[in-house]
Amino acid sequence: MITLSQMLLIAATAFLASVLGGVTGYGTGLLLPPILVPLIGAEAVVPVIGLSALLTNAGRVAAWWPRLDRALAMRVIVSAAPGVVIGAGLYSLLSGPRVMVLIGATLVALVPLRRALMRRHGALGPGGVTLAAAGYGLLNGGTAGSGVLLLSILLAAGLGGPGVIATDAAVSLMLGLAKSAVFAGTGALDGPLAGVALVIGLAALPGAFLARRLAARLRPASHVAILDAVVVLGGALLIVQGLRA
């Protein structure tokens, strides 16, 4: 049973992650797992973050709607959706320790992968986007924090500025609906966990609008390195916990 103080910690972390993610397009789903695993269990992390992200991404879509690239968003959604369903189904079959190792390894691996894709800014054509989105969908269905890969795909496709945040949010919203439906159908997402997801989503929702104000004043690159370090540390801790369990 989660206490009130633990719920407040989750809400505060969700708000902070939403602000950071809204400014950089990177960080929201990566900062929450190390906080959530000890509180709700490893198996529940991906379903809870996936459901909570529906509210978070809905707020971002509303905040950045005029900058949404609809054609690119539709291409990614169609390409990624089958993998999301498969990945979520496979995730539901894993045990707690294996889930911790999976999430931790994914968080650590996503940092260099993001950096590699960022160097391909504007170099990914329609066929490359389709192929990359298919792989992203599989990863998205079974892990937390894979949104950073989507961000990198959009940048590699030539999108930039607020358009990345808007398109990322729209894609994540639609794929999140599919993922949550799978988890609900397999029993991995019950009423109490949905309540935790609702708290995270509501706490993070204002962050999208605060981030829009901050984005015009801050340089995201100034703290991306710090986010990378935090993500790698959190992922490494999850791997160690999973191997010890």
What residue numbers bound the domain in which 204 lies?
4-244
Token pair 């190390």 in the structure block, residue = 34
- pLDDT recorded at residue 27: 60
CB 70 within 8 Å of CB 215: no
* 120 vs 89, more confident: 89
Q: Provide the sign of the torsion angle of the four alpha carbons 237, 23, 217, 219, taken in this order.
A: positive
Number of domains in the chain: 1
- The predicted model gives 224-229 an average pLDDT of 63
Token pair 């950073």 in the structure block, residue = 148
Burial class (CB in 10 A: 0-12, 13-18, 19+), 220: middle
pTM of the model: 0.75
CB 103 within 8 Å of CB 52: no
Q: Provide the sign of the torsion angle of the four alpha carbons 228, 230, 231, 236, taken in this order.
A: positive
Burial class (CB in 10 A: 0-12, 13-18, 19+), 237: middle
- pLDDT recorded at residue 25: 57
What share of the chain has pLDDT > 90, as a percent? 15
- pLDDT recorded at residue 70: 93
- pLDDT recorded at residue 119: 67
- pLDDT recorded at residue 139: 83
Q: Using the 8-state DSSP alphabet, how is residue 145 labeled?
A: S
User: Which pLDDT band holds residue 108 (cuts at 50, 70, 90)?
Assistant: confident
Give the number of other Cβ atoms within 10 Å of residue 70's Cβ: 10
User: How big is the CA angle at 80 (ends 75 and 82), to the nearest 5 degrees?
Assistant: 125
3-12, pLDDT tens digit by residue? 888 889 888 8
- pLDDT recorded at residue 56: 76
174-219, pLDDT tens digit by residue? 999 999 999 888 888 888 888 888 998 888 878 767 776 766 665 5
37-87, pLDDT tens digit by residue? 888 887 888 889 888 888 878 877 888 888 899 999 999 999 999 999 998
CB 235 within 8 Å of CB 31: no
CB 139 within 8 Å of CB 106: yes
- The structure tokens listed for 190 are 């019950």
Burial class (CB in 10 A: 0-12, 13-18, 19+), 82: middle
- In whole angstroms, give the CA distance from residue 17 to residue 218: 16
